A and B are shown apart, each in its own frame.
Chain A
Amino acid sequence: MSTRLSGRAAAPGADVAPAFVLAPQPVLTKLPEVASGAPEEEATRLLGALQRAEAELRELAERVAESAGEEEGEIFEAHAEFAADPELARLTEEAVRAGTSAERAVVGAFETFRELLVASASEYLAARAADLDDVRDRVVKILLGMSTGGDRPEQRSVVVAHELTPSETASIPVELIAAIVTETGSPTSHAAILARALGVPAVVACDGVLAATRVSVDIAVDGRAGEVTVDPSPDERAAIVRRHEQEERRRQDLGALRDEPGRTADGHPVELAANIGSIDHIPAAVEAGGQGSGLVRTEFLFIGRVTAPTVEEQTKVYAEILRGFPGHRVVFRTMDVGADKPLPFVERDPEENPALGLRGIRLSLRRPDLFRDQLRALVRARGDVDGEDAGRLAIMFPLVATAGELEAARRVLRSVAEEEGVGLEGVEVGVMIEVPSGALGAARLARSADFFSIGTNDLIQYLFAVDRLNGAVADIGDVLEPDVLELIRSVVEAGHANDAWVGVCGEAAGDPTVAGALVGLGVDELSMTKVAIPEVKDALRRLTRDECREAVQAAIAGAADAVGSRALLEERLGTSLG
Chain B
Amino acid sequence: MPEARVTLRNPTGLHARPAKIFAKAAATFPADVAVEKDGRRVNAKSTLSLLTLDCHQGDEILISVEGDDADETLAELVALVEAGIGEHEGGGAAT
Contact = CB atoms under 8 A, between A and B. Distances in A.
Interface stretch (A81-89, A405-413, A544-552): A81-89
Contacts of B16: 78, 124
Interface string B52-64: 1010000000000
Contacts of A113: 48-49, 52
A117 to B, nearest CB: 6
B48 A85 contact: yes
Contacts of B73: none
A113 B20 CA distance: 16
B54 A122 contact: yes
Contact of B20 (A81, A86, A116, A117): A81
Interface in A55-88: 78, 81-82, 85-88
B43 A125 contact: no
Contact of B52 (A81, A116, A121): A116
A121 B49 CA distance: 16
B31 interface: no
Given A87-B42, A87-B43, A120 B54 contact: yes
Contacts of B47: 81-82, 85
A86 B27 contact: yes
Given A81-B20, A85-B46, A86-B43, A117 B15 contact: no
Given A78-B20, A86-B43, A125 B49 contact: no
A87 B51 contact: no
Interface size class of A (residues with CB under 8 A): 10 to 19
Contact of B46 (A86, A120, A122): A86
B45 interface: yes
A181 to B, nearest CB: 38
Interface string A95-127: 000000000000000000100110011101100
B17 to A, nearest CB: 8
Nearest to B12: A124
Interface in A123-137: 124-125, 128, 132
Interface in A117-163: 117, 120-122, 124-125, 128, 132
Contacts of A121: 54
B48 A87 contact: yes
B15 to A, nearest CB: 6
B65 to A, nearest CB: 16
A47 B52 CA distance: 23
B20 A87 contact: no
B20 A128 contact: no
Nearest to A74: B17
Contacts of A86: 27, 43, 45-46
Contacts of B43: 86-87
Interface in B15-33: 15-16, 20, 27
Contacts of B48: 82, 85, 87-88, 113, 132
B52 A120 contact: yes
A1 to B, nearest CB: 50
Contacts of B49: 85, 87, 113
Interface string A225-255: 0000000000000000000000000000000
Contacts of B27: 86
16 contacts: A82-B48, A85-B49, A86-B27, A86-B46, A87-B43, A87-B45, A87-B46, A88-B48, A113-B48, A116-B52, A117-B52, A121-B54, A125-B15, A125-B52, A125-B54, A132-B48
Q: Enumerate the 6 nearest inter-chain pairs by beta-carbon distance, A residue then B residue, closest first.
A: A87-B46, A116-B52, A120-B54, A85-B48, A87-B49, A85-B46
